[in-house]
Amino acid sequence: MYAEWVGDASLYAFLWECDRDLAGAARAGGCVVCGGRVDTARYPRKPRGGPPGLGAAFDRRESFCCARDGCRKRLTPPSLRFLGRKVYLGAVVVLVTAMRHGATPTRVARLQELVGVSVRTLARWRRWWRDVFGTSRFWQAAAGRFGSPVARERLPRSLLECFAGEARDRLVATLRFLGPITTTSARGVMAC
């Protein structure tokens, strides 16, 4: 169900557009400390797992820095492309871990071939979803917003299943939901 989206360049182009919109909104809001003007202060990323030829847009994370002397506070807006400091793209971490539930050795081999992720990394992602994300303050506060309980041991698949729509819509909704954990300096609502 989700495997087709892992290698779909149009999905990643859409996520990049969402990130541009989020960055524009963050920039328009100014510095979170003093309200001053913010300047572009993108930083390099070397994301893994996406389809070939994503372009230079995926080599940089949108970020800003206050232009006012004495403040210089960094503002990094939420992202639908990057899941915090993880090296693999956020969509890859969500989709591959969701597909890993109940996966046969053949499926695991296909996932490794598709995105180049090792068995150890897959296991680490599953532990992160269950033991770090699943016990985080963010999740504890947000989990109650869903109509039915979300099974922590089946994260992120159970999270994807909470959202309506086709597989792509569910993925985008999940990435939007995860936006606040992709940064420590953002404010406001997630759009896109």
pLDDT in tens, 32-81: 999 999 999 999 998 898 888 888 888 999 999 999 999 999 999 999 99
Q: How far apart are CA 18 and CA 190, in angstroms?
A: 9
Does the structure show a pLDDT above 50 at 13? yes
Per-residue pLDDT of 139-157, as tens digits, reads 999 988 888 888 888 999 9
Question: Residues 8, 167: contact at Cβ < 8 Å?
Answer: no
Token pair belonging to 149:
């309980």
Supply the pTM of this predicted model.
0.88
Tokens 């996932």 locate to 111
Q: How far apart are CA 18 and CA 12, in angstroms?
A: 10
**Angle at alpha carbon of residue 125, lines to 120 and 128, rounded to 5°:** 125
Q: How far apart are CA 58 and CA 103, in angstroms?
A: 29
Helical segments of the chain, H only: 3-6, 9-29, 90-100, 105-115, 119-127, 137-142, 157-160, 167-178
* Mean of pLDDT values over 160-176: 93
Exposure on the CB side of residue 157, measured as CA atoms within 13 A: 15
CA distances from 102 to 70, 154, 155, 187 (A): 53, 10, 12, 37
pLDDT class for 111, splitting at 50, 70, 90?
Answer: confident
Least confident of 16-30, 82-96, 105-119, 171-185: 105-119
Question: Residues 58, 45: contact at Cβ < 8 Å?
Answer: yes
Residue 191's pLDDT is: 40
Does the structure show a pLDDT above 80 at 16? yes
Token pair belonging to 186:
């953002």
Write the CB contacts of 69 (distance below 8 Å, at least 6 apart in sequence): none
Return the SS3 of 61: strand
Per-residue pLDDT of 113-133, as tens digits, reads 788 888 888 889 989 999 999
Token pair belonging to 145:
């917003």
Preceding omega of 156 cis (within 30 degrees of 0): yes
pLDDT class for 192, splitting at 50, 70, 90?
Answer: very low
Does the structure show a pLDDT above 70 at 2? no
